[in-house]
Amino acid sequence: MKLSFTKMHGCGNSYLYFNCFEQSVPNPEALSIRLSDLHFGVGSDGIILISPSDRADAQMRIFNADGSEGKMCGNGIRCVGKYLYDNGMVGNRTTVTVDTLSGVKTLELTVQDGKMQTARVDMGAAVLLPQKIPVLYEGNSAVDVPIVVDERVYHMTCVSMGNPHCVLFLKEDIDDLDLARLGPKFEHHTLFPERINTEFVNVLPDGSLKMRVWERGSGETWACGTGACAVGVAAVLNGHADKNSCITVHLRGGDLTVQYTDETVFMTGTATTVFKGEIEI
């Protein structure tokens, strides 16, 4: 059996996209593990299935490199918008809806020469209630609260953007961190019953934010859209940025712009098609 796919990335956060309007993908959990491997597969952060939806233009299902299913992916959803537009699946409409496990998200596309260049995504309201993130912390929010890892006390701000995030603002240069050692210790910390995505952040002199991310199920990735949104929200809650302002977040794979309002969080960024391929399973 042969399956066609398109490799795409948003700020270096790469997935293999399967058009399930035209084909069926069996056992996506095992397929994601196999194809994500850099040496024995294609190499990616996971796979995303683009399927019909009865309440949106398409549905996206996300499978991480370890085969676990994710609820939401900010970089992935921009790529889904690009795939739908560039392949004529939504006509000439520049407003596109995508069904996710975190609800239906709306994308506003910027188009040039018949191809989508950027997308502004309404990511929905940030969830701050610890029980709903989830994080085992008493109170109405977990903002700048201590967490002990490797006998060091960090201060975390926890936010859900459809998936759980732990944001850490650090003084030391995050480029010097050993995330391969540190990331798993946060991911599997006992405070996080469903594991956690962890963002390590520097506030730069110009007010922009530099971040690295350790994603549950995938390890360090070059970008995380929901993570950038969580960082923007946490920056406002900790006094590093203003609500309603455009916050620039520098990720290893590129920049995203985040805007945190009373109603929702907006994320704007690019999406890129790398190549199309075919795999026999």
Catalytic residues: 73, 224
Is 104 exposed, middle or buried, given 0-12, 13-18 or 19+ CB atoms closer than 10 A? middle
Report the alpha-carbon distance of residue 60 to residue 43 in Å, rounded: 20
Q: Report the candidate in 273, 228, 275 with the shortest Cα–Cα distance to residue 249.
A: 228
Q: Are 186 and 198 in contact (CB under 8 A)?
A: yes
Cis peptide before 193 (omega within 30 of 0): no
Other C-beta atoms closer than 10 Å to the C-beta of 220 total 18
Report the alpha-carbon distance of residue 120 to residue 137 in Å, rounded: 33
Could you give the angle at the alpha carbon of 184 between the alpha carbons of 72 and 190, nearest 5°? Answer: 85
